[in-house]
Amino acid sequence: MFTRSELESKTLKELKDLAACYGIKPVGNPGYKTSWITPLLAFPMQAIQQFQDHKKGLRNPSWRSSEALGTILYEIGEPTDEQAALIRATLEGKLLPLPERYEQTRLLNLHKTKQLIQEAIETLNK
């Protein structure tokens, strides 16, 4: 991501600003450029190593967890023609009177939830 020479050419303030942009903390005395250069050079590989180690931070879900997402999708099911029509009408801003509007909103929220779970599964499978 960064080269040592690229970072060494920056001022202390520029290094601090760059580190702040990524949420990187200095190693040692923050008054020295090397205290900022070292973690800026190291963080990409540390992040990859942490991901590969599966011990802390973001980890791939287990097969069982992925299977649970599929189970949730199965339980949610597919909308009927009438439900799909109501979802489309709701997305157009057409609302039922109360108290049916509550169920209309719940139906739309379930539809959105299903879409997000499907998107999550597709993203995890890439």
* Nearest CA-CA partner of 91 in 105, 77, 73, 76: 105
Read off the pLDDT of residues 64-87 as tens digits, 9 standing for 90 and up.
Answer: 999 999 999 999 999 999 999 999
Task: State residue 126's pLDDT score.
Answer: 87
Asked whether residue 44 is assigned to any structural domain, the reply reads yes
Residue 115, domain extent? 63-125
**Does residue 58 belong to any structural domain of this protein?**
no
Cα angle: 28, vertex 33, 38; to 5 degrees: 65
Residue 40 near residue 2, CB atoms below 8 Å: yes
Q: Domain count of the chain?
A: 2
Residues 49 and 67 in one domain: no
Are 97 and 78 within one domain? yes
105-119 tens-digit pLDDT:
999 999 999 999 999
* pTM, rounded to two decimals: 0.72
- Give the pLDDT confidence of 12-45 residue by residue, as tens digits: 999 999 999 999 999 999 999 999 999 999 999 9
Helices (H), the chain: 4-8, 12-22, 33-53, 63-76, 81-91, 100-124
